């Protein structure tokens, strides 16, 4: 089972589409021993004449995501799709399903011919999928796309990443869409409100927890790595943009500048302590819990 | 890439290399790489290892059907090294088109990506084995990996290692490398082509001391008596004594890119 919900981040402009999964040791994005529930988050950015969807979610949530989009969007509205992790199912599973129903006018990608990357069905006879127009974004550190007439969407190569990953900053909402980073807050309850507000307390984020989360997920390799360039790149993002909300690709959204400051500070402290100047790298076997 | 595709190719007795090339642009150059699959033929049944890139699956399936049509035992199992779509993107179509097949490996996430088939997912851990008659496939430590849920595999029939993202490198289409094993691709500069992949797909290898991973890799190769390496992205390695030193040099140089 899965619980679906929508969080309005900015009325008429940004919505989070949450669809939960159970943490049962069988989710690659979370520590093997994590238990409880977390949402896969797709984000819908709406402007007057166009909309953009960041990530398309798992197949298990296809019907729910179509319903969520239907509740927010006219099917004729020009929609662009932007998978932030082109190689991960959580980002791409429903690209074709959405394109069959909504007016998908382009897909942003760092690879050409995105339909080659998001075709997961057997087509029989005369069946065919929509041809998707790919807007190729370079592999540089940052670029920019425009939603509607003038809404600036900044596209960043994720400053910390395991696989090909993009972060997005939306100037209009001051939201950083951080993909797999800052994704460490889950819940014992499936119907959790998947955001922590400006005046609410984040009872999870501290040095010990974030360190453990990184090392037990996709940043298993980072102990003893050269983290200085990574820290510098993260700090550049922090200084360059007026981030008021962090919206991860999975897990809980953090709203308010105080939460943003805390997240970046704790992450920086963890990466500093894990740097090769402070600790020697050692081989990390599969399944090592730290 | 279907015209002129050099695959399939039998790289060891009962191991067929399947797939097609993918173009990669890097620093103004056009490289090729593989997102390969391998067909392992046992006495009792056959096994597919990896499903290839989503774009390649129709071609991989065609190659597989052609090979199996030559009086070979039926396909019963699929082993996948990890959840990235260039490795597992064809999973749904394998399960849909081959109704008897079971999927093996660390099966995290697949129940969400392919919910109609979750009963056919069989989890493995390091040391677990699948017997296909006359040879076994053993899940082994994934020394060089990305997702924490990665597994490598070892075939006892040909002493072949299937390292997924290990040995990940591009090759030179312009110099005729497509479909060659590493030792046949005389002009292949492993330092160069390992760097292409490191920047694009294995970023972490540029941040850390890769000596410790190469040391562990060489231990694994020695412990298992590996004779052939069948990587998903690189060209197969058939002479480890000749090629492993070049792999070591390339991987270690990656770890010093970011200073």
Does a structural domain hold residue A229? no
**Interacting residues of A288 by C-beta distance below 8 A, sequence separation 6+:** A220
Mean pLDDT, chain A, whole residue set = 96
Average pLDDT over residues A70-95: 97
| Chain A residues touching residue B148 (CB < 8 angstroms) | 28, 32, 216-218, 220, 286-287
Residue A122's pLDDT is 77
Does a structural domain hold residue B259? no
Residue A241 zone, left/alpha/beta (φ > 0; ψ -120 to 50; rest): beta
Average pLDDT over residues A69-88: 97
Distance in Å, alpha carbon of B118 to nearest chain A alpha carbon: 11
Whether A51 contacts chain B with CB within 8 A? no
Does a structural domain hold residue B127? yes
Does a structural domain hold residue A136? yes
CA–CA distance, B233 with B255 (Å, rounded to integer): 19
CA–CA distance, B240 with B225 (Å, rounded to integer): 11
CATH of the domain at A149: 3.60.15.10
Q: In this model, does residue B254 exceed pLDDT 80?
A: no
Confidence band for B258, pLDDT divided at 50, 70 and 90:
very low
**pTM for this entry:** 0.96
Q: In this model, does residue A23 exceed pLDDT 80?
A: yes
Does a structural domain hold residue A119? yes
**Interacting residues of A37 by C-beta distance below 8 A, sequence separation 6+:** A3, A20, A21, A22, A23, A186, A187, A188, A189, A190, A192
Among candidate residues A231, A242, A217, A228, the one with its CA nearest the CA of residue A267: A231
CATH of the domain at B92: 3.60.15.10
Q: In this model, does residue B2 exceed pLDDT 50?
A: no
The residues in A 240-259 lying below 8 A from B, measured between CB atoms, are none
Q: In this model, does residue B34 exceed pLDDT 60?
A: yes
Does a structural domain hold residue A118? yes
Looking at the DSSP bridge assignments, the partners of residue A5 are A18
Distance in Å, alpha carbon of A224 to nearest chain B alpha carbon: 7
Going edge to edge, which strands form the sheet with A195-196?
A142-147, A151-157, A166-170, A175-179, A245-248, A253-255, A195-196
Average pLDDT over residues A277-288: 96
* Per-residue pLDDT tens digits for B85-133: 999 999 999 999 999 999 999 999 999 999 999 999 999 999 999 999 9
Does a structural domain hold residue B4? no
Does a structural domain hold residue A273? no
Question: How many domains, chain B?
Answer: 1
Residue A140's pLDDT is 67
Does a structural domain hold residue B72? yes
Distance in Å, alpha carbon of A273 to nearest chain B alpha carbon: 15
* Per-residue pLDDT tens digits for B156-207: 999 999 999 999 888 988 888 999 999 999 999 988 888 777 777 888 999 9
Give this complex's ipTM.
Answer: 0.97
CB atoms within 10 A of CB A272: 13
Q: In this model, does residue B74 exceed pLDDT 60?
A: yes
Question: How many domains, chain A?
Answer: 1
Of A59, A116, A226, which is closest to B115 when you measure between CB atoms? A59
Does a structural domain hold residue B2? no
Buried b (16+ CB within 10 A) or exposed e, A69-80: beebbeeebbbb
Of A25, A28, A92, which is closest to B85 when you measure between CB atoms? A92
Distance of CA B84 to the CA centre of its chain: 12
Q: Are A230 and A170 in contact (CB under 8 A)?
A: no
| Chain B residues touching residue A92 (CB < 8 angstroms) | 85
Q: Helices B240-254 and B190-200 meet at what angle, rounded to 10? A: 50
| Chain B residues touching residue A27 (CB < 8 angstroms) | 108-109
Does a structural domain hold residue A13? yes
Average pLDDT over residues A217-234: 97
* Per-residue pLDDT tens digits for A95-146: 999 999 999 999 999 888 999 999 998 777 777 888 899 999 976 667 899 9
Does a structural domain hold residue B1? no
Query: What residues make up the domain containing B187?
Result: 9-254
Q: In this model, does residue A287 exceed pLDDT 70?
A: yes
Does a structural domain hold residue B3? no
Query: What residues make up the domain containing A185?
Result: 4-197+241-257
Percent of chain B with pLDDT over 70: 97
Does a structural domain hold residue A33? yes
């Amino acid at each position: 089972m899965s619980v679906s919900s929508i969080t309005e981040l900015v009325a008429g402009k940004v919505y989070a589409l949450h669809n939960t999964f159970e943490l049962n040791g069988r989710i690659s994005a979370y520590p093997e021993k994590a238990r409880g529930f977390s949402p896969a988050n797709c984000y819908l950015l709406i402007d007057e004449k166009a909309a953009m969807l960041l990530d398309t979610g798992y197949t298990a949530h296809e019907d729910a995501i179509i319903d969520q989009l239907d509740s927010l969007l006219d099917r004729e509205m020009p929609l662009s799709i932007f998978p932030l992790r082109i190689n991960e199912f959580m980002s791409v599973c429903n690209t074709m399903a959405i394109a069959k129903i909504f007016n998908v006018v382009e897909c942003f990608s760092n690879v050409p011919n995105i339909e080659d990357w998001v075709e997961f069905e057997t087509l029989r006879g005369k069946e065919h999928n929509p041809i998707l127009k790919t807007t190729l974004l370079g592999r540089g550190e940052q670029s920019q796309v425009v939603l509607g007439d003038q809404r600036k969407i900044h596209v960043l190569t994720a400053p910390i990443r395991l696989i090909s990953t993009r972060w997005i900053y939306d100037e209009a909402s001051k939201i950083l869409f951080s993909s797999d980073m800052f994704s460490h807050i889950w819940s014992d309850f499936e119907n959790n409100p998947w955001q922590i507000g400006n005046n609410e307390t984040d009872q999870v984020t501290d040095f010990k927890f974030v360190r453990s989360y990184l090392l037990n997920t996709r940043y298993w390799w980072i102990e003893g790595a050269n983290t200085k360039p990574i820290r510098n790149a993260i700090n550049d993002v922090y200084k360059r943009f007026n981030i008021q909300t962090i919206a991860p690709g999975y897990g809980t959204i953090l709203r308010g500048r105080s939460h943003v400051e805390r997240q970046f500070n704790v992450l920086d402290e963890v990466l500093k302590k894990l740097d090769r100047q402070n600790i020697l790298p050692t081989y990390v076997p599969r399944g090592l819990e730290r | 890439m279907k015209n002129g595709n050099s695959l399939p190719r039998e790289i060891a007795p009962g191991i067929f290399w399947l797939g097609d090339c993918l173009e990669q642009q890097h620093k103004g150059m056009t490289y090729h790489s593989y997102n390969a699959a391998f067909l392992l033929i046992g006495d009792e049944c056959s096994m597919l290892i990896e499903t290839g890139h989503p774009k390649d699956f129709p071609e991989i399936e065609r190659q597989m059907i052609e090979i199996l049509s030559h009086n070979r035992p039926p396909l019963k199992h699929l082993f996948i090294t990890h959840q990235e779509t260039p490795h597992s993107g064809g999973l749904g179509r394998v399960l849909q088109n081959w109704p008897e097949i079971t999927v093996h490996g660390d099966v995290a996430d697949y129940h969400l990506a392919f919910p109609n088939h979750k009963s056919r997912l069989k989890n493995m851990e390091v040391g677990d084995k699948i017997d296909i008659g006359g040879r076994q496939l053993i899940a082994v430590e994934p020394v060089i990996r990305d997702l924490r849920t990665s597994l490598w595999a070892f075939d006892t029939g040909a002493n072949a290692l299937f390292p997924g993202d290990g040995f990940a490198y591009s090759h030179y289409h312009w110099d005729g490398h497509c479909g060659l094993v590493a030792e046949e691709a005389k002009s292949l500069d492993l330092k160069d082509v390992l760097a292409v992949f490191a920047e694009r797909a294995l970023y972490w290898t540029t941040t850390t001391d890769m000596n410790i991973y190469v040391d562990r890799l060489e231990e694994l190769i020695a412990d298992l008596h590996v004779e052939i390496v069948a990587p998903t992205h690189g060209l197969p390695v058939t002479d480890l004594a000749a090629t492993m030193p070049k792999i070591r040099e390339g991987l270690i140089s990656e770890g010093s890119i970011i200073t």
